[in-house]
Amino acid sequence: MLNAQFSFELKAQDDKARLGKILTPKGDIETPAFMPVGTQGTVKGIFTDDIKKTNTQIILGNTYHLLLRPGTEILGKFGGLHKFMNWDKPILTDSGGYQIMSLSKLNKIDIKIGAIFKSHLDGKKIILSPEKSIQVQKKINSDIIMVLDECPKLTKDKKIISGAIKVSTEWAKRSKIEFGNNKSKALFGIAQGGLYKDLRIESINKLIEIGFDGYAMGGLAVGEKQSDMFEILSETTDFLPKEKPRYLMGVGTPADILGAVNEGIDMFDCVMPTRSGRTGLAFTWQGKLNLKNSKYQNDKSPLDEGCDIRDLNKYSKSYLNHLIRSDEMLASMLISLNNIYFYQQFMREIRNNIKNGTFKNFYKKYIKFFD
């Protein structure tokens, strides 16, 4: 039976690693969880039904891109993104904050107005205010909505980071007002602060004062060293409310995820599985495999004997090598599917090890395995 309201249950801990469950009207999400990225209403190169078969529990969409295409009018006719893309499970949407950073040459920030974009498609002026971002996410019918924030590029300049916290806090307040009272959905706040412990704690405390259904760590995975990311998580994650889900945005590699789970993070998203799939890089229990490599030309073994989605376990590494060398689109489709399947198997093993109290052993075995 599906739940009428959004809620979170913390079921077990193994040191700082947490086992939990997010309950939503669209289905439950066992955590730690990985969310494949479907920026424009599709996880690139993979059929929606196949995503479901990988045991993916939730996917991510993007407010900025879906506002531009197909637009809220079309999405509204379908009742949101779920029916539009044939996905009946939860959806989380990024607010457009990441595009403020990634498309920084095409926008400027005004704390009162919002982010003023020049569309990367046709040059049209687009104003994405905190209120507009929430309105669009409601049209998308997102189950987990993110506040609009300013995500600064990697910098050691405390003045820039403090400025981003000021903007993000103000926008978080306005986002919550626009979100209103809807217990069937969730609104997450996003903490900034770069690699500075004092600034990140300041941001977290300001968000807690406003009050959200979950809390995200933003402004990481933007080019800093992995060890620096782990260190700031170690120093600040405990300041997040224990009874709410914790989300590390834009992360990452299996090792990134493992290290962040070790510091108490519950949710992750990244384009890594599909982007790697498009370049011929496969994630497997044998490690990372560059299938472009000539050593796979005569390899008759599949990527994973256990993955029968689209008969993936019937395709040899030799065949995949051939597809890559022939520049066939099927190569990226099959390897991307494998990678999403692997990521979800990896998350399942993380959850099982936390449940069994053996997470530290799993962590030690795999933290350097994919280097």
The pLDDT tens digits of the residues spanning 193-207 come to 999 999 999 999 999
Global pTM value: 0.97
Domain range for 297: 289-337
Q: Which of 62-66, 107-111, 239-243, 263-267 has the lowest mean pLDDT?
A: 107-111
Same domain, 118 and 264: yes
> Residue 80: which pLDDT band, with cuts at 50, 70 and 90?
very high
Helices H, strands E: what count in the chain?
14, 16
Residues annotated as catalytic (active site), given as ranges: 94, 269
Same domain, 168 and 305: no
Same domain, 151 and 262: yes
Same domain, 118 and 191: yes
Q: Which of 273, 360, 365, 361 is nearest to 17 (CA)?
A: 360
Distance between CA atoms of residues 33 and 43, nearest Å: 16
pLDDT in tens, 96-133: 888 887 888 888 899 999 999 999 889 899 999 999 99
Same domain, 323 and 266: no
User: Is 155 among the domain residues?
Assistant: yes
Percent of the chain beyond pLDDT 90? 93
Q: In angstroms, what CA-CA distances link 213 with 136, 174, 258, 371?
A: 19, 15, 24, 35
- Provide the mean pLDDT of the chain: 96
In angstroms, how far is CA 32 from the centroid of its own chain? Answer: 12
C-alpha atoms less than 13 angstroms from C-alpha of 230 in its C-beta half-sphere: 13
Helix (H) or strand (E) holding 60: strand 59-62
Distance between CA atoms of residues 134 and 191, nearest Å: 18
pLDDT over threshold 80, residue 336: yes
User: Is 348 among the domain residues?
Assistant: no
User: Is 343 among the domain residues?
Assistant: no
Same domain, 263 and 293: no
Same domain, 33 and 155: yes
Indicate the number of domains in the chain: 2
pLDDT in tens, 245-295: 999 999 999 999 999 999 999 999 999 999 999 999 999 999 999 999 999
User: Is 357 among the domain residues?
Assistant: no
Same domain, 259 and 331: no
Same domain, 105 and 68: yes
User: Is 369 among the domain residues?
Assistant: no
The average pLDDT across 149-157 equals 94
User: Is 354 among the domain residues?
Assistant: no
User: Is 346 among the domain residues?
Assistant: no
Same domain, 128 and 37: yes
Q: CATH no. for residue 61?
A: 3.20.20.105
Distance between CA atoms of residues 314 and 363, nearest Å: 31
User: Is 125 among the domain residues?
Assistant: yes
Same domain, 160 and 83: yes
Same domain, 255 and 318: no
Q: Which of 274, 238, 270, 266 is nearest to 254 (CA)?
A: 270
- How much is the pLDDT for 28? 97
pLDDT in tens, 15-50: 999 999 999 999 999 999 999 999 999 999 999 999
- Provide the token pair at 364: 């030690």
